[in-house]
Structure 1
Amino acid sequence: MNGNRAVSDVIGFVIVFSLVAATVGIVSVTGIGILQDARDAEQVNNAERAFDVLADNMADIHQEGAPSRSTEIKLDSARLEVRAPVEINVTGVDPSGTNPNVSYSAVPIVYEGRGDTAIVYEAGAVFRDSPQGGIVSEKPPFRFADGEVIIPIIQTQQMGNATSVSGGTIRVRAEQAVREPLAEFVQREAAYDALIVNVTSPRYRLWKRYLEEDADATCTVTRPETVQCRIDDPKRLAVTRTLINFEFEI
């Protein structure tokens, strides 16, 4: 009898120990995954806040005329890099049929961490971009109100040789190179029937959403990664461009 009880105690102990070990193992595996996801999400949120500061510093240059600004971005295991330039084209629909246009490129600054979400500074805007979609975290410095159309084109251009950096804290140093109004698009009383804005960018869907909502523009996708938006009957018009050179300082 005592032998049966001893065997039962041993079996019970083994079963309880196995359950405890399995529970600890499951919690450890899933818990580590959850903690990793939370850490990655917080890093992206911190990067987004840093890019908002970057956009503010860039605005000091193109709006206030500051000669230069520097922005520190903590990377840890993430990386900061430049990508292929995006293109912004503005065309005036002139009743005479001349239809003047200007076209400028801008080099995006992209933050990428462990996940699939990227933070992008592009032509004055900040985007939080992912394969599942994205949002406009910081709107471009355009203005559409009461018939007034103001479009500052922020033409970022990279200096130096570092196109991709990672680890530690990186400084993005930017300086003004050119700041000018575009004469054919500065009109106290607009002479154009409409203004057409073309944006060629991997984030064309976010540009489309922004221009439809803020400019009440009619937008169509005309070719891969290009959105064309028509803004009808502008009353006052100002299109400027600012060339900003930037580099990564390690």
Structure 2
Amino acid sequence: MAERGVSDVVGFVLVFALVTSTAAIVYTVGFSGLQDTREEERLSNAERVFDILADNVADLHYRGAPSRATEIKLADATLGFGQETSLRVEVTNMPSSSPSYGTNLDPIVYAPTGSPVQLVYENGAVLRERRNAGSVLTERPDAVFRVDGTTKTAVIPFVQTRRTRSSGVGGSSTVRIRTERSGSEVLGVLASPSDADSDPDGDGSDEYRVVYAVETTENRAPRWEASLEEQISWRSDACSVSGGTVTCAFGVERLYVTATRVDVSFS
């Protein structure tokens, strides 16, 4: 009887230890997986909001809307502005002077607490950026490059988002991103390439020789370069990256450069 009692105790101890260790493993692995799922869902929700934000800002600079409001639930995150981005367009083959247009803007940044990933709205583009480890472009910038027959056209907008009353907010509340158009203008229209030094590309056609430069972060620059390279389809290797600066050189018969100043506040 004593041996049977000892056997029952040993069996109980073994079963209890197995149940305890299994629960610990499930808790550890399951909790980690739950956290990862929650983090991904939080970013996916914010990413959808940033896509809506990009559409709303496009209403301001393309369709002349006076203002738009976009709501986002922070869910333990901060919403503010990133390092200033610079944009520049220059025509380099004019016989007298070289027309040059440029501006600076404040990117809008959503950063979840404790996460290495953040979302960025920058001149029409939306990027999912992993700090110090590159980025993914989820919404292309608004520049248009197209070929109609033998005519190449570039339409380059500057969407100058600017911080106003609030530099940023944090927490888990629902925040309204208010974007208000404070000014819009056409900076340059060039449509008579015979005015320029002819045939910059040596292909037998008169073109304006254009340099478009985007000075952003080193994380985001490769995504900008890849997107612009794809759009400027008529010229291979049009764009290059050096640090955080993307430079694209190409020829067009028609060039349009516009600027829209957008005041951004959070409430």
1:28-52: CA deviation from partner (whole Å, max 9, x where unpaired): 1110110011001000000000000
1:121 and 2:126 are equivalent in the alignment: no
- In the TM superposition, residue 128 of structure 1 has moved relative to its aligned partner by 1.1
CA contact (8 A) 1:89 1:103 kept: yes
1:102-150: CA deviation from partner (whole Å, max 9, x where unpaired): 1100100001113211110011111111144322111111111101111
Aligned to 1:133: 134
Aligned to 2:263: 245
Q: TM-score, normalised by structure 1?
A: 0.93
- In the TM superposition, residue 163 of structure 1 has moved relative to its aligned partner by 2.7
Aligned to 1:54: 53
State the secondary structure of the residue aligned to 2:252.
Answer: coil
State the secondary structure of the residue aligned to 2:64.
Answer: coil
Hey, what's the Cα distance between the residues in 2 that align with 1:180 and 1:189? Answer: 21
- In the TM superposition, residue 188 of structure 1 has moved relative to its aligned partner by 2.7
Hey, what's the Cα distance between the residues in 2 that align with 1:96 and 1:189? Answer: 13
1:61-108: CA deviation from partner (whole Å, max 9, x where unpaired): 000000111110110111111122100011112242622211100100
Q: Given the alignment, which residue of 220, 225, 234 partners 2:244?
A: 225
Aligned to 2:7: 8
Q: Given the alignment, which residue of 212, 226, 235 partners 1:197?
A: 212
Number of aligned residue pairs: give it. Answer: 244
CA contact (8 A) 2:208 2:253 kept: no
Aligned to 2:18: 19
CA contact (8 A) 2:78 2:168 kept: no
1:161-207: CA deviation from partner (whole Å, max 9, x where unpaired): 33343320111111111111113xx1233445321111111111111
Hey, what's the Cα distance between the residues in 1 that align with 2:247 and 2:105? Answer: 17
Instruction: Map 1:1-250 to 2 at 5 A.
Output: 2-96=1-95, 98-113=97-112, 114-130=114-130, 131-146=132-147, 147-183=152-188, 186-190=189-193, 191=196, 192-202=207-217, 203-216=220-233, 218-222=238-242, 224-231=243-250, 233-249=251-267
Is 44-53 or 8-17 further displaced after alignment? 8-17
Counterpart of 1:175 in structure 2: which amino acid? E
Contiguous gaps of at least 5 residues in structure 2: 197-206
Q: TM-score, normalised by structure 2?
A: 0.87
Contiguous gaps of at least 5 residues in structure 1: none
CA contact (8 A) 1:86 1:106 kept: yes
Hey, what's the Cα distance between the residues in 2 that align with 1:126 and 1:84? Answer: 15
Hey, what's the Cα distance between the residues in 1 that align with 2:22 and 2:58? Answer: 53
RMSD across aligned C-alpha pairs, in angstroms? 1.5
Hey, what's the Cα distance between the residues in 1 that align with 2:209 and 2:226? Answer: 19
CA contact (8 A) 1:154 1:241 kept: yes
CA contact (8 A) 1:106 1:156 kept: yes
Hey, what's the Cα distance between the residues in 2 that align with 1:129 and 1:77? Answer: 18
Hey, what's the Cα distance between the residues in 2 that align with 1:20 and 1:79? Answer: 41
Counterpart of 2:230 in structure 1: which amino acid? E
Counterpart of 2:100 in structure 1: which amino acid? N
Hey, what's the Cα distance between the residues in 2 that align with 1:45 and 1:73? Answer: 12
